[in-house]
Amino acid sequence: MNEAFFFYVFSGLTLLAALYVVLTKNPTYAVLSLVAAMFSLAILFVLLHAYFIAAVHILVYAGAILVLFLFVVMLLGVGREETAGRSQTLYRIFGGWVVLGFLMEIGLIVKAVSRTGGASSPVLTGTIEAVGRLLFTRYFLPFEITSVLLLVGIIGAVVLSRKEQV
C-alpha cells in the first residue's frame, strides 16, 4: 500500500512540474520546475527498485544537464523582466510548499523502508549488470536508434545556429 501511495503522489508531482514547465513564460522557473520533475522521476525509479538508474538520473540529468540549462538561461538574462511583488510572493509560497512536500515524502519513504528492513525485494533488478544486459541485448535496436536521433538533433542544432556566409 505504501508503494502505491508514493507512486500516485510522485506521479502527480511529476505531471504538475512537467505541466508547469510547458505553461510558464519565465524560462528560469521552467528549468527549476524541470529539476523538480527529474527528482520526482528519480523517486519513481527508486520505487521500481532501480537504484542505479535513479542515482544516474539525478547525477546526469538533474545534477549536470539541467544545472547547465539554468546557468545558460541565467547567464543570457532571458526572462529578466520580473513580475510584480505579489506574484513573486506567490511563487515563494508555492516553492516553500513544494520543498516541504518533498521533505515529507522523503521522510515517509525513509520511515517505510526502515520499518520493512529495506529487504522487500531480494532480486535487484536495477543493478548495473541488469541494466547493461537489457540495454545491449533486448533493447539494443532502440538504444542505437536513439543515439542516431540524438546525433541528427545535434547536427541540426549546429546547422540552424550557424550564420549564413554570403
Residue with grid cell 549564413, as numbered in its chain:
164
As given in the structure block, the three cell numbers for residue 112 are 517505510
Cβ neighbours of residue 136 closer than 8 Å, sequence gap 6 or more:
143
State the pLDDT at residue 15: 92
CATH code of the domain made up of 2-125: 1.20.120.1200
- Helix (H/G/I), strand (E/B), else coil: 91: helix
Q: Model pTM?
A: 0.55
pLDDT of residue 50: 80
The rounded average pLDDT for each run of 10 residues, N- to C-terminus, in the chain (166 residues) is 83 91 84 86 86 83 77 68 62 77 72 61 64 81 84 80 67
Are the CB atoms for 35 and 66 separated by under 8 Å? yes
What pLDDT, on a 0 to 100 scale, did the predictor assign at position 134?
81
User: What's the pLDDT at 165?
Assistant: 62
